[in-house]
Amino acid sequence: MRRKKKSENNGFNVWRSYSDMMAGVLLLFVLLMCVTLFQAQKSYNESIKERDDKIALQEEYTQQLLDVLAKYNIKVTFFVTNVNSGYQNMIAKEAAAGHTVAIHSASHNYQQIYSSVGAYFDDLNEMSDIIYSQTGSRPTLVRFPGGSSNSVSKKYCKGIMTELAKDVTDQGYKYYDWNVSSGDAGGTTSTSEVYQNVINGIQSHNVSVVLQHDIKSFSVDAVESIIQWGLANGYTFLPLTTSSPDVHHGINN
């Protein structure tokens, strides 16, 4: 997202809404010998219901976001995962609405994807195939899990982010980080905080790439107010493309 004076006609304006598509719940079952088969099956069935309910909620949040964006005729970028395959239909809806659909990760499992360059591209190609199956187009944009500046990858493969930043570019992709965070992936838990974090952040940049997650209802609830404030203050909202200005973090591994 970029602020543009009314007399300007050559500005490039970017807003990016981001979707991890992490709709599933992480299920950890510790089956003790004293637990009966009936109890274990009951727990499993309840967990499946919880998962299905969670998927329904995430679809509701994403649809809410799509509705708000349509209301203002704004297009954004969804960086998606396949953490829960039951959520894939939303990828098709995002693309059909004219938004950019891009790769985040199929598994979003840091230990797995950052174990080697080959493992990363196995994950990337899996996600690319899923996006293609839903949209009919191959994605060209990538956001690394944790961003290109992540240091957690050091635990699994030293120097991998330096290599991956070069390799994805060599393979025809363009990767993006962000320069404005809504805070919804960290300590922020309220709509008002998300709103304030975003509008404060974008005033520090000519071009702002804003990180938000549509799996957080309180963050989705902030989007309309952010759009209204941005439009009233001379900002334009656009999706990322391969010709968008680079927004990269410093690589730490």
Q: d(Cα 234, Cα 150) in Å, to the nearest integer? A: 33
pLDDT of residue 8: 35
The token pair that represents 95 in the structure block: 């693309």
Render the burial of 50-78: b for 16+ CB within 10 Å, e for the rest: ebeebbeebbebbebbbebbeeeebbbbb
Q: Following DSSP, what letter does each residue of 19-31 receive, concatenated?
A: -----S-------
Please list the pLDDT of the chain residue by residue as tens digits (253 residues).
Answer: 655 433 333 333 344 333 443 332 223 323 333 344 444 554 544 454 454 545 566 789 999 999 999 999 999 999 999 988 888 999 999 999 999 999 999 999 999 999 999 999 999 999 999 999 999 999 999 999 999 999 999 999 999 999 999 999 999 999 999 999 999 988 899 999 999 999 999 999 999 999 999 888 999 999 999 999 999 999 999 999 999 999 999 999 9
Q: CA torsion sign, 110 to 174 to 13 to 94?
A: negative
Strands 180-181 and 210-211: parallel
State how far the Cα of 253 lies from the Cα of 251, in Å rounded to an integer.
Answer: 6
* DSSP β-bridge partners for residue 79: 102
| C-alpha–C-alpha distance, residues 77 and 141, integer Å | 9
pLDDT attached to residue 56 = 64
Q: What is the pLDDT of residue 167?
A: 98
Count Cα atoms within 13 angstroms, Cβ side, for 228: 8
| Residues listed for the chain | 253
Exposed / middle / buried, residue 215 (Cβ in 10 Å: 0-12, 13-18, 19+): buried
Task: Report DSSP letters for 155-195, one per residue.
Answer: GT-TTHHHHHHHHHHHTT-EE---SEE-STTTT--SHHHHH
Residue 98's pLDDT is what?
96
Q: Are 188 and 217 in contact (CB under 8 A)?
A: no
Give the model's pLDDT for residue 58. Answer: 79
Say which DSSP state 224 is in.
H
What is the structure's pLDDT at 49?
47
pTM of the model: 0.80
pLDDT at 86: 83
**Per-residue pLDDT at 55:** 53
User: What is the separation of C-alpha 139 from the centre of its chain, rounded to a whole number of angstroms?
Assistant: 14
